[in-house]
Amino acid sequence: MSGAKVDIKVVLLGKAYAGKTSLVERYIHNRFSGDTVPYQNVITIGAAFGAKTVSVDNKNVIIGIWDTAGSERYEAMSRIYYRGAKAAIICYDLSDRSSFDRARFWIGELQKHEEGCQIHLCGTKYDLIAENPELRKIEERETAALAQDVRGKVYETSSKSGKDVALIFTNIASDYLKSLKNTEVEDNKEYMVPLRDASNKRFVCSGCKI
């Protein structure tokens, strides 16, 4: 599935209740309803699609965002959402260890099926951590190491406060514009090939385990 009027296809993946929909809500509509609406009521069914135009360096880029449902039964369908995606935002709840394991699973899936997809690791609900650091279940260095393995970027966001939410999408847009300019990616060339080969198998396995 590739969007007709969309420049970049972005897909959000992650465990149920990780905060994917809230992230999109904050980014597209600049609102947050997590405090008022019980989360069971807004659980995503299937997948939701939204688009937003960003301007980077005076150029307009339309980002089409696929906000997928985290529930396990939709897993079989998820491929049609990440097929052809330029970037994937893999969300995990900073206060929920199991959601990080789920993130590893999605990384494995993407590396297996969609190699050209840039991975953005996104820890969510930062406001909770900021309030009470003891809630943090996933250390920054852990995600940094994982991100380096998959040549991805790491963010710790809060959809409640809006922290770093727009940054992810701006980065995705500027990455896209860069790749338009020079079709071959030069920045990461030196360490890109060997690392991927080395890490490929390992992550598939860790994904299978979950």
Partner 1 sequence: MATDHREAEQPVNTSDSDFQEDVEFVETNCVPGKCNSAVFDTTDELDDLTLNLANGVIQNHRGTITSLIRKRAKRSNTLKDEEADQDLANSIASEEANSIEQSELSSELSEDENVKNGLEDLSLQDTESVPEESPSVTLIPSSSETDYVNSLEWKQQKKHIFILSESGKPIYSRHGSEDKLVTVMGVMQALVSFVQDDKDNLRSIVAGDHTFVFMNRDHLTFVGVTRGRESTQQMLLQLTYMYNQVISVLTHSTLVRTFKQHRNFDLRRPLSGAEKFFDNLLNLMDVEPGLLLTSVRCLPLDSSVRDIVSQTIVQHAKVKDLVFALIIAQNQLVALVRMKRYYLHPMDLHLIINLINASESFKAAESWTPICLPKFDATGFLQAYVSYLDEECQSCLLLLSVDIEAFYTLSECRAKIKERLDRYNALTAIGNSLQRHSYSVQQCSIGDLRHFLYKARSTAQYTSPELGPPYNTPEQQDRLFGLYHFLHDKVHSVSRPLKLLYHVGKYETLLGWVTQGFELYAVFGPLVTKNVAIHAVNKLLRWIKREEDRLFILSSVTF
Distances (CA, A) of 79 to 32, 47, 110: 28, 12, 9
Retrieve residue 78's tokens: 């998820």
| Of the residues 77, 192, 198, 210, which one makes contact with partner 1 according to CB under 8 A | 77
Is position 34 an interface residue for partner 1 (rule: CB under 8 A)? no
DSSP string, 143-166: HHHHHHHTT-EEEE-BTTTTBTHH
What is the nearest approach in angstroms of partner 1 to the Cβ of residue 11?
A: 12
Residue of 30, 59, 60, 80 interacting with partner 1 (CB under 8 A):
80
CB-nearer residue toward partner 1: 16 or 147: 16
What is the size of the binding site for partner 1 (CB under 8 A)? 31
Binding-site member from 18, 69, 172, 173 for partner 1 (CB under 8 A)? 69
Nearer to partner 1 (CB atom), residue 146 or residue 168: 168
CB of 159 vs partner 1, minimal distance in Å:
13
- Among residues 42 and 192, whose Cβ is nearest to partner 1? 42
Binding mask 13-32 for partner 1 (x = CB under 8 A): ---x----x--xx--xx---
| CB closer to partner 1, 23 vs 119 | 23
Query: 178, 162 in Cβ contact below 8 A?
Result: no
Tell me if 3 contacts partner 1 by CB under 8 A.
yes
Residue 208 engages partner 1 in binding (rule: CB under 8 A): no
Q: Is 47 in the site for partner 1 (CB under 8 A)?
A: yes
- Collapse the DSSP code of 121 into the 3-class scheme (helix H, G, I; strand E, B; otherwise coil) and give the result: strand
> What is the C-alpha separation between 34 and 176, in angstroms, rounded?
31
Q: Which residue has the tokens 């099926």?
A: 113
User: Minimal distance in Å, beta carbon 138 to partner 1?
Assistant: 22
Buried b (16+ CB within 10 A) or exposed e, 31-57: ebebeeeeeeeeebeebeebbbebebe
Give yes or no for a contact between 152 and 118, defined as CB atoms under 8 angstroms apart.
yes
Q: Does 62 bind partner 1 (CB under 8 A)?
A: no
Closest CA to 91 of 152, 49, 176, 4: 152
Q: Which residues pair with 60 in a beta bridge?
A: 55
Which residues of this protein are in contact with partner 1, per CB under 8 A?
1-4, 16, 21, 24-25, 28-29, 37, 40-50, 67, 69-74, 77, 80
